[in-house]
Every structure is written in C-alpha cells, then in structure tokens.
Amino acid sequence: MIHLTNKQHCTVILTQIGAGVVSVLVPDKNGALKDIVLGYSNEEDYYNDGPCSGKIPGRYAGRIGNACFEIDGNKYPLDPNKGIHHLHGGSKGFANQKWNIEYSDAQKVIFSLKSPDGDQGYPGEMIVRAEYNWSDDNILSLDIRAKSDKDTVVNLTNHTYWNLKGEDSGSILDHSLQIFAQKWLPTDSDLIPTGEIASVEQTPMDFREAKEIGKDIHTDFEALKIGKGYDNCWVLDGGRELRKGVVLSHQESGISLEVWTNQVATVVYTGNWLSGSPISKSGRSYNDYDGVAIECQNFPDAPNKKNFPNTILRAGEEYIERIEFRIKTLR
C-alpha cells in the first residue's frame, strides 16, 4: 500500500492493484477523522471484485455493446465479460492488473502499466501512466496519460465509491448530489446506450439543482428500474476544459466533494449491487447503496455510436485526462 499524507495530516492510501484508491481520511465538521471511501480489509480482494472499487478500469471504462467495435472498417472482438457485452476493459483489464510504481513521495505517486497488443481484444501496445497528487488543501488529483503504437480506443476513469459520513456508516441515499448536466443517455435493458441524448428536464435524472440521492431513486422510471437505482451517464455542461461537474455533500458530516474534470461526461452509480462484495475495512459486508461512484469519462459504447464523441486514439497520439476530487469540510 502507498500512503500519501499532507500538511493537514490527512491521508490517502492507494494500491498497485488497478492503481486504486483504498482510503481517504479527512476530518468531519467536529474534527473527527473519517475514511470517506469504500474499500476492503484484504488487499488481494481488489483483484476481480465485482464493484471495481477505487480502481482505474480500462482500456475502456463502461460498456461496449456486443463486445465488438470497428476502426476504419476493421472489426475488433473483445472479451464478453458482461453477458454478450464488454464491461470496464474485460475480465483481465486494467483494474485487475498490478501496476508498476514509477515514482512516489509523501504526496505523489505515479503508476504505470503496459498493455500488450491484443490485450482483451484491443489493438496496439498501450503505455498508461496515472499520477495521483494529494494537496495540502485536500485535493486528490488524478492525471492519466496513454499512448498506443496502433490505432485503438480508450476511455479511462476512477471508480472510487464515496460515503461522506464514513465508509462504515451505511447508505448514501441521504447525501445531496448536484450534476452540472442538461442531458443524459438513455439505455436498453442491458445498460447499453440507445444513441439518444435526452433532456433531464422533468425526469428523476435532473440534478441541476442539488437534491438527495434517495429522493427519486425509487420512482417508476424505466432507467431506475433497469439499474435498481442510478447507473447512468450524464453529458456534462461545457467542453473539454477542466470544470466542476459534480458536487456531493452530506450535511451531518459537514464534508463536501467537488469533482472537476476535463471529460465530456460522468457516470454516477449509486452502488445498487454492492451486497456480496468482499469484507470491508471495517470488518463487515457492504450493503446496496453504501457508496456512490462518480466516474468522469467519455460516453459508454461510443465506439459503436457515430453521434457520440470520438474515443479513437490514433497511433502516436496522447490521451490526456484530469480529474480532481476537491474535498472540503465546513467548520
């Protein structure tokens, strides 16, 4: 495990497995340290866990329909690890690999991974670097860069589950959530986007004004019935500049999380299927809705949707992504 500690004596713990976030310890409004991310007691449990807790999935985060895509007329079949579809880069994707440590100090670590040509079906040898920085004002930044020697597709994110009351405190349905998005992506029953880009207006997907996650989660709305809660992609306002995309907060703890990104979208997943995950750091099993993942990225299944943003990385080009998790405590 890698420990990063800032001048406020707040700590981030990371694992080489999936270049993942294991713990984030910050004070609540009463000064008590809280671990606000979900994680496991046994580090080996991060391999092949269903929730993909804390890790960087890839080469392609989210789903690719029918486990196949094309580049310039060439078809590339992928590992079908979610029924007939492909999820989070396949069963042996980036999240289930042990990344190398290129550099580390008290507040920074750089992980790297080499993905061979044909890995999980993807063309090209890809070199990926993920740099985490933990600032003195409790901003955890993640910079991801990737290059391939052949044309390929790439879509990376971080899959940390947040609970601002503390990882052992139960449901996040009482958390307040705001998403700066006018549009969202409807899906079929397998959570593959249909290609429609729909307005959030007058739907339970409208988080333009902050509201409790649980307010509409059990509404009779097809997308919520399919996922047993929120497991959907929102099209973030703005372009590719770094901007605030999501705000998560909890009044009782006094902790808030602003998520800034240069990505076009975010998937918000409310931990609808967390039951049965490995034993937690606090020694119990998590229940459904015990954490929420905020996954800044491109659109799911974009390689198969001509009207979705491009996800092709041409040989020699560089993929550049930045996510900032800005944590604040009301005093």
Set 131, 167, 175, 295: catalytic member: 295
C-alpha–C-alpha distance, residues 263 and 299, integer Å: 10
Among residues 159, 167, 175, 321, which one is catalytic? 159
Q: Distance (Å, rounded) from C-alpha 235 to C-alpha 266?
A: 7
Amino acid, single-letter form, for residue 129: R
Cβ distance 182 to 216 under 8 Å?
no
Annotated catalytic, 218? no
Beta pairing class for 152-153 and 211-212: unpaired
Quickly list DSSP for 11-55.
EEEEETBTTEEEEEEEE-TTS-EEE-B--BSSGGGGTT-TT-TT-
Concerning whether 159 is annotated as a catalytic residue, the answer is yes
**8-state DSSP, 162:** E
From the list 143, 93, 130, the residue with the least C-alpha distance to 115 is: 93
Catalytic residues: 159, 295
